[in-house]
Amino acid sequence: MGDKLESLARAAFAPNGSAGPRTTIAVDAMGSDRAPRPEIEGAIQAARYGNARVLLVGRTEAIQAELANHPAAAELPIEIVQASEVISMDEKAAHAVRAKRDSSMRVGLRLVRDGTAQGFVTAGNTGAAMATAKMVLGALPGVDRPALAAVFPTTIPGRAAIMIDVGANVDSKPQNLEQFAVMGEIYSRSIFQNQRPRVGLLSIGEEESKGNDLTRQAYELLRRLPFNFVGNVEGRDLYNGKVDVIVCDGFVGNVALKISEGLVETVRSMLKESLEATLTRQMGFLLSRRAFADFKKRLDYTEYGGAPLLGIKGVVIVSHGSSNANAIKNAVRVAAEFAKSGINEKIAQELSRQNGVLTAPSD
């Protein structure tokens, strides 16, 4: 595979005569629940819209078979990189890292490490993706624990909120939350162009004294950071646009994310049921169909593509296992934006600059 990588690297960095994209994103073609279809369709869309050049990583035969359904793809900046192994959704992260040295995740992340690709997208096993990324790419200087950041829509049009961490770490220490805050703040500034992001600490009451041991200690650290810390926020503040960044332990953040997904599904199905009940309501539904489409889109997590793993030396976007082509396309777009934003350099700089302010790493 060495030759293949070398030629890919040359292609990626050669002066680009065409107006095509220069950023190359590796996509784990074997990750999602319905792989490789959503990955390949998403890659085609991303390449077509000029979001990036895409390297599809996985079993060449499976990828080729799916690509054959899309003859137009041959004209697009898409290439295949062979990886013989696949990590399943229920595989333990430690096992996946140890045993599968030629997994699509591992190969994809190596492309990033070697500079062949500027980012990696996977809709596979989240735990394995994080563990493999930490091993292959390593953490940024000053980062004890990388964290997953998710984007939530808010009731304020065009404004999204970032929640960090949503599942990379459990049993976090106050110092970890402090670093999550720094990374989330930079994410909000760099990607969402918020000049002075409002950062809140997720707790169960607004007063400083409310919360648990972890949040009370983290509060003291966050208030000393040189940014716009607005104090404790509650669960309802995820969606009302009151803050731009919400900091929490990964267990709590993951529960929050899953509840939100579940509840949106619940609301959708209850409404559907109610609206199918009588003819008048069905008429009503038809007339308001466009509104429902708008609404669905605003709540649609696939629009945000995936959750970036922050604090890693490289760009890694983790998408939902149930991702469709649209989610993958957007994840590729987000990965390319990240690569161009220089966010990792900013995180490393900020953490080193604040070294006097930040508490010493504890693990």
Of residues 278 and 355, the one with the C-beta less far from a copy of itself: 278
Of residues 62 and 257, the one with the C-beta less far from a copy of itself: 257
CB of 171 to a copy of itself, least distance (A): 5
Interaction site with a copy of itself (CB under 8 A):
90, 92, 153-155, 167, 170-171, 202-204, 207, 209, 211-213, 215, 234-240, 250-252, 254-267, 269-271, 274-275, 277-278, 280-281, 283-292, 294-295, 298-299
CB of 254 to a copy of itself, least distance (A): 4
Q: Is the peptide bond before 15 cis (omega within 30 degrees of 0)?
A: no
Of residues 153 and 306, the one with the C-beta less far from a copy of itself: 153
CB of 175 to a copy of itself, least distance (A): 17
Where in the chain does DSSP place strands (E)? Answer: 24-28, 53-58, 78-82, 119-122, 147-153, 160-164, 199-202, 229-233, 245-247, 307-310, 316-318
How remote is the C-alpha of 232 from its chain's centroid? Answer: 24
Instruction: Tally the C-alpha atoms within 13 A of residue 242's C-alpha that lie toward its C-beta.
Output: 17
Of residues 79 and 234, the one with the C-beta less far from a copy of itself: 234
CB of 193 to a copy of itself, least distance (A): 23
Of residues 69 and 278, the one with the C-beta less far from a copy of itself: 278
**Sheet order of strands, 147-153 included:** 78-82, 53-58, 24-28, 119-122, 316-318, 307-310, 147-153, 160-164, 245-247, 199-202, 229-233
Nearest CA-CA partner of 154 in 245, 270, 18: 245
CB of 275 to a copy of itself, least distance (A): 5
